[in-house]
Structure 1
């Protein structure tokens, strides 16, 4: 891609409009003119397509359309209002060994409540296999 300001090879993208630029000087030049978000997909199917694709799906991979439902859950939003839950999620995201931390955090009732709310959305009770 070429820099939108000078046409040189770009290494960076504007966080707002995603236009490529090559340097601090070109970034500053770009910021002199207002930019906006690029047009996004209109329907849910297009949002799924552009937001999430799996390179190596497994049998435990959650379908993208179910992940989109997480955004709409009032129960999950309520759980995320708790700063402790958000801090736990941040630590899990940054951890090189999140599986070990998960065992620890699953002992905390507030985190277990969040996990249960997520599971209700992506794996509703009527879809759970009784094996």
Structure 2
């Protein structure tokens, strides 16, 4: 079974993930832009039982456009936002794609909130685009 570990900038927080992600998603929403300080966020979503967290975290919860809260966890030392728990998808945990620092990590299969994306951001044709969030798969 494949094992990958995402780490914060200072290395105090690690998120160990077993197996393949359920999905890899890119988000263009304004909240993700603010959270990451970038034009978008990329997350690998794993089943919660595939993920274990080592090290201290601080958290910040905010409502999402779906009306469900998202509980973001970050390193209290360096501030890297490494994982989040979306109430809309309670079986999943999002792990920051960049935390893996792995150029061979699977590319995003979808881009959500494309209506809030920057016009200059180009994506490969294989990446499905959604104006907002698609309905969750059962």
User: TM-score scaled to structure 1, two decimals?
Assistant: 0.23
**Structure label with greater radius of gyration:** 1
User: TM-score scaled to structure 2, two decimals?
Assistant: 0.23
Query: Which structure carries more helix by proportion?
Result: 1
Structure scoring higher RCO (CA < 8 A, sep ≥ 6) equals 2
Query: Which structure carries more strand by proportion?
Result: 2
